[in-house]
Amino acid sequence: MENGPLYQRKVLLGVSGSIAAYKSAFLVRELIKWGAEVQVVMTTAAKDFITPLTLSTLSTRPVYSTFLHEKDEKYGVWNNHVDLGLWADLMIIAPASSNTLSKLVTGACDDLLSAVYMSAKCPVYVAPAMDLDMYKNEATSSNLEELTARGVTVIPAEHGELASGLIGQGRMAEPEDICQFISAQLLEQLPLYGKNVLINAGPTHEHIDPVRYLGNNSTGQMGVALAHAARSLGATVTLVLGPTHYPLDLSGLHVVRVVSAKEMLTAMQEYYSSSVLTICTAAVSDFVPKTAADKKLKKTTMKGSMSIDLEETPDILATLGQTKRIDQRLIGFALETNDGVGYAKDKLRTKNADAIVLNTLSSTTGFESNTNAVEVFFQDGEQHSLPLTVKSELGEQLLHRVLDKFQWV
Ligand code: C5P
Protein backbone atom coordinates (compact mmCIF):
# COMPACT_ATOMS: atom_id res chain seq x y z
CA MET A 1 0.00 0.00 0.00
CA GLU A 2 1.97 2.95 -1.30
CA ASN A 3 2.08 6.04 0.82
CA GLY A 4 0.52 4.25 3.81
CA PRO A 5 2.36 4.69 7.11
CA LEU A 6 4.07 1.30 6.72
CA TYR A 7 5.31 2.13 3.22
CA GLN A 8 9.10 1.71 2.97
CA ARG A 9 9.32 1.17 6.74
CA LYS A 10 12.00 -1.22 7.89
CA VAL A 11 10.22 -3.76 10.04
CA LEU A 12 12.00 -6.24 12.25
CA LEU A 13 9.63 -9.14 12.77
CA GLY A 14 10.45 -11.26 15.78
CA VAL A 15 8.86 -14.71 15.75
CA SER A 16 8.84 -16.76 18.92
CA GLY A 17 7.75 -20.29 19.75
CA SER A 18 4.00 -20.58 19.61
CA ILE A 19 1.67 -22.48 17.33
CA ALA A 20 0.61 -19.04 16.04
CA ALA A 21 4.07 -18.83 14.40
CA TYR A 22 2.39 -20.22 11.27
CA LYS A 23 0.54 -16.90 11.05
CA SER A 24 3.90 -15.10 10.77
CA ALA A 25 4.05 -16.20 7.14
CA PHE A 26 0.79 -14.31 6.51
CA LEU A 27 2.07 -11.38 8.55
CA VAL A 28 5.23 -11.14 6.42
CA ARG A 29 3.07 -11.12 3.27
CA GLU A 30 0.71 -8.56 4.70
CA LEU A 31 3.55 -6.24 5.77
CA ILE A 32 5.09 -6.50 2.31
CA LYS A 33 1.68 -5.73 0.80
CA TRP A 34 1.69 -2.52 2.86
CA GLY A 35 5.09 -1.71 1.35
CA ALA A 36 7.27 -2.53 4.36
CA GLU A 37 10.73 -4.11 4.21
CA VAL A 38 10.72 -7.11 6.52
CA GLN A 39 13.63 -8.70 8.35
CA VAL A 40 12.69 -11.81 10.30
CA VAL A 41 14.47 -12.83 13.48
CA MET A 42 13.14 -16.04 15.02
CA THR A 43 13.82 -17.97 18.20
CA THR A 44 14.99 -21.57 18.07
CA ALA A 45 11.63 -22.71 19.43
CA ALA A 46 9.81 -20.88 16.62
CA LYS A 47 11.57 -23.13 14.09
CA ASP A 48 9.58 -26.08 15.45
CA PHE A 49 6.43 -24.36 14.20
CA ILE A 50 7.53 -22.76 10.91
CA THR A 51 10.67 -23.11 8.83
CA PRO A 52 13.13 -20.27 8.29
CA LEU A 53 12.94 -21.12 4.58
CA THR A 54 9.25 -20.19 4.45
CA LEU A 55 9.88 -16.85 6.13
CA SER A 56 13.04 -16.03 4.18
CA THR A 57 11.29 -16.83 0.90
CA LEU A 58 8.35 -14.58 1.75
CA SER A 59 10.48 -11.75 3.13
CA THR A 60 13.16 -12.16 0.42
CA ARG A 61 15.82 -11.80 3.10
CA PRO A 62 17.78 -14.37 5.09
CA VAL A 63 16.17 -15.17 8.42
CA TYR A 64 18.37 -14.78 11.49
CA SER A 65 17.98 -16.77 14.65
CA THR A 66 21.37 -17.25 16.28
CA PHE A 67 24.25 -14.92 17.10
CA LEU A 68 26.47 -16.85 14.71
CA HIS A 69 25.39 -17.03 11.08
CA GLU A 70 24.36 -20.67 10.77
CA LYS A 71 25.72 -21.23 7.26
CA ASP A 72 29.04 -19.65 8.16
CA GLU A 73 29.33 -20.96 11.68
CA LYS A 74 32.82 -22.26 11.12
CA TYR A 75 33.99 -18.86 9.84
CA GLY A 76 32.44 -17.15 12.84
CA VAL A 77 30.16 -14.73 10.96
CA TRP A 78 28.30 -12.65 13.51
CA ASN A 79 24.61 -11.69 13.21
CA ASN A 80 24.99 -8.30 14.78
CA HIS A 81 22.05 -7.61 17.09
CA VAL A 82 23.07 -3.97 17.51
CA ASP A 83 23.04 -3.35 13.74
CA LEU A 84 19.70 -5.13 13.41
CA GLY A 85 18.24 -3.12 16.27
CA LEU A 86 19.40 0.15 14.73
CA TRP A 87 18.30 -0.80 11.20
CA ALA A 88 14.66 -1.13 12.22
CA ASP A 89 12.06 1.65 12.03
CA LEU A 90 9.83 -0.57 14.11
CA MET A 91 9.91 -3.98 15.69
CA ILE A 92 6.97 -6.37 15.91
CA ILE A 93 7.19 -9.52 17.98
CA ALA A 94 4.40 -11.75 16.71
CA PRO A 95 3.70 -14.22 18.05
CA ALA A 96 5.14 -13.21 21.40
CA SER A 97 5.22 -16.32 23.57
CA SER A 98 4.98 -16.18 27.33
CA ASN A 99 8.69 -17.10 27.54
CA THR A 100 9.76 -14.32 25.18
CA LEU A 101 7.59 -11.76 26.97
CA SER A 102 9.22 -12.60 30.28
CA LYS A 103 12.68 -12.27 28.73
CA LEU A 104 11.79 -8.83 27.38
CA VAL A 105 10.82 -7.79 30.90
CA THR A 106 13.85 -9.18 32.71
CA GLY A 107 16.37 -8.23 30.05
CA ALA A 108 17.57 -11.82 29.66
CA CYS A 109 19.11 -12.01 26.19
CA ASP A 110 20.21 -15.54 25.64
CA ASP A 111 19.01 -15.50 22.04
CA LEU A 112 19.27 -13.13 19.08
CA LEU A 113 15.63 -11.97 19.26
CA SER A 114 15.79 -10.76 22.86
CA ALA A 115 19.23 -9.20 22.27
CA VAL A 116 17.89 -7.31 19.25
CA TYR A 117 14.98 -6.08 21.39
CA MET A 118 17.45 -4.80 23.99
CA SER A 119 19.35 -2.89 21.29
CA ALA A 120 16.34 -1.55 19.40
CA LYS A 121 15.63 2.17 19.66
CA CYS A 122 12.49 2.06 17.53
CA PRO A 123 8.86 1.59 18.66
CA VAL A 124 8.16 -2.03 19.61
CA TYR A 125 4.87 -3.91 19.28
CA VAL A 126 4.12 -7.30 20.78
CA ALA A 127 1.26 -9.57 19.73
CA PRO A 128 0.99 -12.26 22.39
CA ALA A 129 -0.24 -15.75 21.57
CA MET A 130 -0.68 -18.54 24.09
CA ASP A 131 -3.24 -20.79 25.66
CA LEU A 132 -5.99 -19.06 27.64
CA ASP A 133 -4.73 -20.04 31.07
CA MET A 134 -1.19 -18.92 30.29
CA TYR A 135 -2.65 -15.63 29.01
CA LYS A 136 -4.72 -15.23 32.16
CA ASN A 137 -1.77 -16.08 34.39
CA GLU A 138 -0.65 -13.19 36.56
CA ALA A 139 2.91 -13.54 35.31
CA THR A 140 1.71 -12.82 31.75
CA SER A 141 -0.56 -9.93 32.70
CA SER A 142 2.09 -8.30 34.86
CA ASN A 143 4.68 -8.75 32.09
CA LEU A 144 2.32 -7.11 29.60
CA GLU A 145 1.62 -4.28 32.03
CA GLU A 146 5.32 -3.77 32.66
CA LEU A 147 6.10 -3.70 28.93
CA THR A 148 3.27 -1.21 28.35
CA ALA A 149 4.66 0.99 31.10
CA ARG A 150 8.02 0.92 29.32
CA GLY A 151 6.47 2.12 26.06
CA VAL A 152 5.96 -1.19 24.26
CA THR A 153 2.59 -1.40 22.51
CA VAL A 154 0.65 -4.57 23.19
CA ILE A 155 -1.66 -5.77 20.45
CA PRO A 156 -4.01 -7.83 22.62
CA ALA A 157 -4.67 -11.48 21.91
CA GLU A 158 -8.13 -12.27 20.56
CA HIS A 159 -10.87 -14.44 21.94
CA GLY A 160 -11.66 -17.63 20.05
CA GLU A 161 -10.81 -21.27 19.52
CA LEU A 162 -7.25 -22.09 20.57
CA ALA A 163 -4.86 -24.81 19.38
CA SER A 164 -5.56 -26.75 22.58
CA GLY A 165 -9.22 -26.98 21.60
CA LEU A 166 -10.18 -24.68 24.44
CA ILE A 167 -12.03 -21.47 23.80
CA GLY A 168 -10.86 -18.20 25.31
CA GLN A 169 -8.50 -15.26 24.94
CA GLY A 170 -5.04 -16.12 23.62
CA ARG A 171 -5.24 -16.20 19.83
CA MET A 172 -2.72 -13.96 18.17
CA ALA A 173 -4.38 -11.01 16.44
CA GLU A 174 -4.88 -11.63 12.70
CA PRO A 175 -2.04 -10.36 10.46
CA GLU A 176 -4.40 -7.89 8.68
CA ASP A 177 -5.54 -6.54 12.05
CA ILE A 178 -1.95 -6.21 13.28
CA CYS A 179 -1.05 -4.13 10.18
CA GLN A 180 -4.23 -2.03 10.54
CA PHE A 181 -3.56 -1.48 14.24
CA ILE A 182 0.05 -0.40 13.70
CA SER A 183 -0.80 1.79 10.68
CA ALA A 184 -3.57 3.56 12.57
CA GLN A 185 -1.22 4.20 15.48
CA LEU A 186 1.62 5.41 13.26
CA LEU A 187 -0.76 7.65 11.37
CA GLU A 188 -2.09 9.30 14.52
CA GLN A 189 1.44 10.12 15.62
CA LEU A 190 2.25 12.01 12.43
CA PRO A 191 2.44 15.81 12.73
CA LEU A 192 -0.10 16.50 9.98
CA TYR A 193 -2.55 13.77 11.00
CA GLY A 194 -6.14 14.99 10.70
CA LYS A 195 -5.05 18.16 8.88
CA ASN A 196 -5.95 19.21 5.34
CA VAL A 197 -3.20 20.54 3.12
CA LEU A 198 -3.94 22.32 -0.16
CA ILE A 199 -1.33 22.60 -2.90
CA ASN A 200 -1.47 23.92 -6.45
CA ALA A 201 0.99 22.87 -9.11
CA GLY A 202 1.80 22.93 -12.81
CA PRO A 203 1.14 25.62 -15.39
CA THR A 204 -2.12 27.20 -16.44
CA HIS A 205 -3.24 27.49 -20.05
CA GLU A 206 -5.04 30.65 -21.09
CA HIS A 207 -6.76 30.02 -24.37
CA ILE A 208 -6.27 32.29 -27.37
CA ASP A 209 -8.41 30.08 -29.59
CA PRO A 210 -9.48 26.41 -29.38
CA VAL A 211 -5.98 25.15 -30.26
CA ARG A 212 -3.60 27.83 -28.91
CA TYR A 213 -2.87 29.11 -25.46
CA LEU A 214 -0.54 31.17 -23.29
CA GLY A 215 1.31 28.83 -20.95
CA ASN A 216 4.69 27.83 -19.60
CA ASN A 217 6.89 24.76 -19.10
CA SER A 218 6.07 24.03 -15.47
CA THR A 219 5.83 20.26 -14.90
CA GLY A 220 4.19 20.28 -11.47
CA GLN A 221 6.97 18.13 -9.95
CA MET A 222 7.76 20.47 -7.07
CA GLY A 223 4.12 20.66 -5.99
CA VAL A 224 3.68 16.90 -6.26
CA ALA A 225 6.85 16.36 -4.21
CA LEU A 226 5.43 18.61 -1.49
CA ALA A 227 2.07 16.86 -1.73
CA HIS A 228 3.66 13.44 -1.12
CA ALA A 229 5.80 14.84 1.69
CA ALA A 230 2.67 16.26 3.36
CA ARG A 231 0.79 13.02 2.86
CA SER A 232 3.57 10.93 4.34
CA LEU A 233 3.36 13.19 7.40
CA GLY A 234 -0.31 12.24 7.77
CA ALA A 235 -2.09 15.07 5.93
CA THR A 236 -5.08 14.72 3.65
CA VAL A 237 -3.82 16.47 0.55
CA THR A 238 -5.79 18.17 -2.20
CA LEU A 239 -3.69 18.94 -5.24
CA VAL A 240 -5.10 21.44 -7.72
CA LEU A 241 -3.16 20.58 -10.86
CA GLY A 242 -2.82 22.57 -14.04
CA PRO A 243 -2.48 21.01 -17.51
CA THR A 244 0.88 19.26 -17.31
CA HIS A 245 1.72 16.21 -19.39
CA TYR A 246 4.67 15.25 -17.24
CA PRO A 247 4.23 11.69 -15.84
CA LEU A 248 3.52 12.40 -12.18
CA ASP A 249 2.82 9.94 -9.37
CA LEU A 250 -0.49 11.16 -8.02
CA SER A 251 -1.28 8.13 -5.85
CA GLY A 252 -2.86 8.90 -2.51
CA LEU A 253 -3.65 12.49 -3.45
CA HIS A 254 -7.03 14.10 -4.02
CA VAL A 255 -6.42 15.68 -7.41
CA VAL A 256 -8.53 18.43 -8.95
CA ARG A 257 -7.63 19.07 -12.58
CA VAL A 258 -7.95 22.60 -13.93
CA VAL A 259 -6.81 24.42 -17.06
CA SER A 260 -6.92 28.20 -16.58
CA ALA A 261 -5.94 30.57 -13.75
CA LYS A 262 -9.61 31.37 -13.20
CA GLU A 263 -10.48 27.68 -12.78
CA MET A 264 -7.49 27.23 -10.49
CA LEU A 265 -8.66 30.08 -8.27
CA THR A 266 -12.18 28.63 -8.04
CA ALA A 267 -10.82 25.19 -7.10
CA MET A 268 -8.40 26.65 -4.53
CA GLN A 269 -11.16 28.73 -2.94
CA GLU A 270 -13.32 25.64 -2.58
CA TYR A 271 -10.74 23.85 -0.40
CA TYR A 272 -8.94 26.81 1.18
CA SER A 273 -11.00 27.43 4.30
CA SER A 274 -10.75 23.79 5.44
CA SER A 275 -6.97 23.67 4.92
CA VAL A 276 -4.46 24.61 7.60
CA LEU A 277 -1.59 24.78 5.16
CA THR A 278 -1.79 26.02 1.57
CA ILE A 279 1.20 25.96 -0.74
CA CYS A 280 1.04 27.72 -4.11
CA THR A 281 3.71 26.22 -6.33
CA ALA A 282 1.77 26.67 -9.56
CA ALA A 283 3.26 28.74 -12.33
CA VAL A 284 0.07 30.65 -12.92
CA SER A 285 -0.04 32.66 -16.13
CA ASP A 286 -0.03 36.36 -15.30
CA PHE A 287 -2.06 37.24 -18.39
CA VAL A 288 -5.11 35.92 -20.20
CA PRO A 289 -6.43 37.02 -23.61
CA LYS A 290 -9.35 39.39 -23.05
CA THR A 291 -11.39 37.25 -25.38
CA ALA A 292 -10.68 33.74 -26.64
CA ALA A 293 -11.72 33.15 -30.27
CA ASP A 294 -14.24 30.35 -30.55
CA LYS A 295 -12.78 29.24 -33.88
CA LYS A 296 -9.14 28.70 -34.82
CA LEU A 297 -7.55 32.00 -35.87
CA LYS A 298 -6.44 31.81 -39.50
CA LYS A 299 -3.15 33.09 -40.80
CA THR A 300 -4.97 34.67 -43.75
CA THR A 301 -6.80 37.11 -41.47
CA MET A 302 -3.58 38.38 -39.85
CA LYS A 303 -2.02 40.28 -42.71
CA GLY A 304 1.52 39.48 -41.54
CA SER A 305 1.11 40.42 -37.90
CA MET A 306 -1.45 40.43 -35.17
CA SER A 307 -1.78 41.52 -31.57
CA ILE A 308 -3.73 39.97 -28.73
CA ASP A 309 -5.33 42.08 -26.03
CA LEU A 310 -4.39 40.69 -22.65
CA GLU A 311 -5.67 41.30 -19.16
CA GLU A 312 -4.32 40.20 -15.79
CA THR A 313 -5.31 36.84 -14.37
CA PRO A 314 -6.48 36.74 -10.76
CA ASP A 315 -3.55 36.45 -8.33
CA ILE A 316 -4.51 33.25 -6.51
CA LEU A 317 -1.93 33.52 -3.74
CA ALA A 318 -2.78 37.16 -3.03
CA THR A 319 -6.53 36.43 -3.11
CA LEU A 320 -6.14 33.61 -0.59
CA GLY A 321 -3.83 35.81 1.50
CA GLN A 322 -6.62 38.37 1.89
CA THR A 323 -8.87 35.94 3.78
CA LYS A 324 -6.17 34.04 5.67
CA ARG A 325 -7.20 33.11 9.22
CA ILE A 326 -4.88 33.11 12.20
CA ASP A 327 -4.82 29.30 12.25
CA GLN A 328 -3.88 29.07 8.57
CA ARG A 329 -0.45 29.15 6.95
CA LEU A 330 0.10 30.22 3.35
CA ILE A 331 3.25 29.66 1.31
CA GLY A 332 4.05 30.96 -2.15
CA PHE A 333 6.80 30.29 -4.63
CA ALA A 334 8.73 32.81 -6.67
CA LEU A 335 10.61 31.96 -9.82
CA GLU A 336 12.86 34.84 -10.74
CA THR A 337 15.60 35.46 -13.25
CA ASN A 338 16.97 38.56 -11.47
CA ASP A 339 16.73 40.46 -8.15
CA GLY A 340 15.09 37.36 -6.64
CA VAL A 341 15.65 38.20 -2.98
CA GLY A 342 14.05 41.65 -3.28
CA TYR A 343 11.05 40.27 -5.18
CA ALA A 344 10.63 37.38 -2.74
CA LYS A 345 10.57 39.70 0.29
CA ASP A 346 8.17 41.97 -1.50
CA LYS A 347 5.80 39.09 -2.20
CA LEU A 348 5.75 38.11 1.47
CA ARG A 349 4.12 41.45 2.16
CA THR A 350 1.97 42.02 -0.93
CA LYS A 351 0.52 38.51 -0.91
CA ASN A 352 0.25 38.16 2.88
CA ALA A 353 2.20 34.87 2.72
CA ASP A 354 3.88 33.30 5.74
CA ALA A 355 6.79 32.18 3.60
CA ILE A 356 8.04 32.65 0.06
CA VAL A 357 10.19 30.00 -1.57
CA LEU A 358 12.54 31.46 -4.13
CA ASN A 359 13.91 29.39 -6.98
CA THR A 360 15.82 30.51 -10.00
CA LEU A 361 15.73 29.30 -13.57
CA SER A 362 18.72 27.24 -14.73
CA SER A 363 19.40 23.85 -16.29
CA THR A 364 19.25 22.25 -12.81
CA THR A 365 16.60 24.41 -11.12
CA GLY A 366 13.08 25.65 -11.79
CA PHE A 367 10.88 24.47 -14.68
CA GLU A 368 11.39 21.09 -16.39
CA SER A 369 14.29 20.13 -14.17
CA ASN A 370 13.88 17.25 -11.70
CA THR A 371 16.29 18.94 -9.32
CA ASN A 372 15.94 22.27 -7.55
CA ALA A 373 17.61 24.54 -5.01
CA VAL A 374 15.63 27.11 -3.07
CA GLU A 375 15.81 29.86 -0.53
CA VAL A 376 12.98 30.21 1.98
CA PHE A 377 12.01 33.61 3.37
CA PHE A 378 9.78 33.76 6.42
CA GLN A 379 7.67 36.69 7.64
CA ASP A 380 9.93 37.33 10.65
CA GLY A 381 13.00 37.77 8.45
CA GLU A 382 14.35 34.26 9.00
CA GLN A 383 15.89 32.83 5.86
CA HIS A 384 17.12 29.34 4.87
CA SER A 385 18.90 27.92 1.84
CA LEU A 386 18.17 24.38 0.74
CA PRO A 387 20.90 23.23 -1.66
CA LEU A 388 20.47 21.47 -5.00
CA THR A 389 18.83 18.07 -4.76
CA VAL A 390 16.09 16.06 -6.50
CA LYS A 391 12.68 17.66 -6.14
CA SER A 392 11.20 14.71 -4.22
CA GLU A 393 13.89 15.08 -1.56
CA LEU A 394 13.65 18.87 -1.60
CA GLY A 395 9.89 18.63 -1.04
CA GLU A 396 10.51 16.68 2.18
CA GLN A 397 13.25 19.02 3.38
CA LEU A 398 11.20 22.09 2.63
CA LEU A 399 8.11 20.78 4.38
CA HIS A 400 10.10 19.80 7.46
CA ARG A 401 11.68 23.24 7.57
CA VAL A 402 8.30 24.89 7.29
CA LEU A 403 6.63 22.66 9.91
CA ASP A 404 9.54 23.25 12.22
CA LYS A 405 9.15 27.00 11.82
CA PHE A 406 5.38 26.84 12.42
CA GLN A 407 6.04 24.55 15.40
CA TRP A 408 3.86 21.79 13.99
CA VAL A 409 6.39 19.05 14.73
O1 C5P B 1 3.83 37.39 -8.53
P2 C5P B 1 4.45 36.10 -8.92
O3 C5P B 1 3.78 35.44 -10.06
O4 C5P B 1 5.92 36.16 -9.16
O5 C5P B 1 4.29 35.19 -7.61
C6 C5P B 1 4.52 33.84 -7.60
C7 C5P B 1 3.65 33.19 -6.59
O8 C5P B 1 2.33 33.67 -6.76
C9 C5P B 1 3.54 31.68 -6.77
O10 C5P B 1 3.30 31.11 -5.51
C11 C5P B 1 2.34 31.53 -7.69
O12 C5P B 1 1.73 30.26 -7.51
C13 C5P B 1 1.46 32.66 -7.24
N14 C5P B 1 0.63 33.25 -8.29
C15 C5P B 1 -0.73 33.14 -8.19
N16 C5P B 1 -1.54 33.70 -9.14
C17 C5P B 1 -1.01 34.38 -10.16
C18 C5P B 1 0.37 34.52 -10.28
C19 C5P B 1 1.17 33.94 -9.33
O20 C5P B 1 -1.20 32.52 -7.26
N21 C5P B 1 -1.82 34.91 -11.06
pLDDT, mean of residues 233-261: 96
Whether the bond between 52 and the residue before it is cis, its omega within 30 degrees of 0, is no
Give the Cβ contact number of residue 125 at 10 Å. 20
d(CA 148, CA 152): 5
User: Are residues 221 and 182 part of one domain?
Assistant: no
Q: Are residues 72 and 217 in the same domain?
A: no
Ligand 1 centre and the CA of 279: distance in Å? Answer: 11
How far is the C-alpha of 105 from the C-alpha of 109, rounded, in Å?
10
Q: Residue 361 pLDDT > 80, yes or no?
A: no
- The kind and range of the H/E element at 398 are helix 391-405
Q: What is the CATH number of the domain that holds 212?
A: 3.40.50.10300
Atom 2 of ligand 1: nearest residue by CA position: 334
Residues 211 and 348 placed together within one structural domain of the fold: yes
Kindly write down the DSSP assignment for every residue of 143-208, as one continuous string: HHHHHHHTTPEE-PPEEEE-TTS-EEEEEPPPHHHHHHHHHHHHHHHSTTTT-EEEEEESB--EEE
Probe target for ligand 1 pocket from 218, 280, 359, with the most ligand atoms within 8 Å of CB: 280
86-105 average pLDDT score:
97
| Res. 78: pLDDT tops 80 | no
Q: Is residue 250 included in any domain, yes or no?
A: yes
Mind listing the pLDDT tens digit for each residue in 350-360? 999 999 999 87
* Statement to judge: residues 165 and 234 lie in one domain: no
The pLDDT assigned to 322 comes to 98
Between 221 and 300, the more confident residue is 221
Same domain? 241 vs 130: no
Q: How far is the CA of 167 from the centre of ligand 1 (A)?
A: 65
pLDDT tens digits for 160-177? 988 888 899 999 999 999
Domain boundary among 145, 163, 188: 188
Residue pLDDT, tens place only, 376-401: 999 999 999 999 999 999 999 999 99
The answer to the question of residue 238 being in a domain is yes
Per-residue pLDDT band for 323 (boundaries 50, 70, 90) equals: very high
335 Cα nearest atom in ligand 1: 4
Name which of 266, 234, 268, 270 is nearest 252 in CA terms.
Answer: 234
Same domain for 170 and 218? no
Task: List the one residue out of 115, 169, 182 whose CA is nearest residue 137.
Answer: 169
Per-residue confidence (pLDDT) for residue 343, from 0 to 100? 92
Q: Do 25 and 68 have their domain in common?
A: yes
- When pLDDT is averaged across residues 208-222 and rounded to a whole number, the result is 95
Q: How high is the pLDDT of residue 339?
A: 87
For ligand 1, the distance from its centroid to the CA atom of residue 315, given in whole angstroms, is 6
Quote the domain boundaries for residue 39.
10-188
| The pLDDT of residue 3 | 63
With a cut of 60, say whether residue 214 has pLDDT above it: yes
Q: Looking at residue 93, which CATH number applies to its domain?
A: 3.40.50.1950
As beta bridge partners, residue 335 has: 359
Question: Average pLDDT, whole number, for the chain?
Answer: 93
Q: Is 3 part of any domain?
A: no
d(CA 266, CA 278): 14
**Between residues 12 and 359, which one has the greater pLDDT?**
12
From 188, 212, 235, the end of a domain falls on 188
The reported pLDDT for the residue numbered 253 is 96
Nearest residue by C-alpha to atom 21 in ligand 1: 315
Quote the pLDDT of residue 369. Answer: 80
Residue 238's contacts (CB-CB under 8 Å, 6 or more residues apart) are: 196, 197, 198, 199, 253, 254, 255, 256, 271, 275
Q: Is the pLDDT of residue 222 over 60?
A: yes
Q: Give 2's pLDDT tier (boundaries 50, 70, 90).
A: low
Contact call for residues 222 and 238 (beta carbons, < 8 A) = no
The percent of residues in the chain predicted with pLDDT above 90, rounded, is 83
What pLDDT shows up at residue 72? 57
Element (H, E) at 379: none
Q: Which residues are catalytic?
A: 216
For a ligand 1 pocket test, name from 316, 345, 349, 359 the mutation site with the most ligand atoms within 8 angstroms of its C-beta: 316
Nearest to 318 by CA among 340, 339, 334: 334
Residues 6+ apart with CB under 8 A from 74: none
* Residue 247 covered by a domain: yes
Domain shared by 183 and 201, yes or no: no
| Same-domain pairing of 208 and 300 | yes
Statement to judge: residues 167 and 249 lie in one domain: no
The pLDDT of residue 75: 59
Distance 191 CA to ligand 1 centre (A): 28
234 and 177 housed in the same domain = no
Determine the distance separating the centroid of ligand 1 and the alpha carbon of 249, expressed in angstroms.
24
Predicted TM-score (pTM) of this structure: 0.80
| H helices present in 235-355, as ranges | 261-272, 316-322, 340-350
Ligand 1 atom 13: residue of nearest CA? 317
The predicted-structure confidence for 112-131, as pLDDT tens digits, reads as follows: 999 999 999 999 999 999 99
Atom of ligand 1 lying closest to residue 351 CA: 8
Q: Is residue 92 part of a domain?
A: yes
The number of domains in the chain is 2
Looking at the structure, tell me whether residues 165 and 247 fall in a common domain.
Answer: no
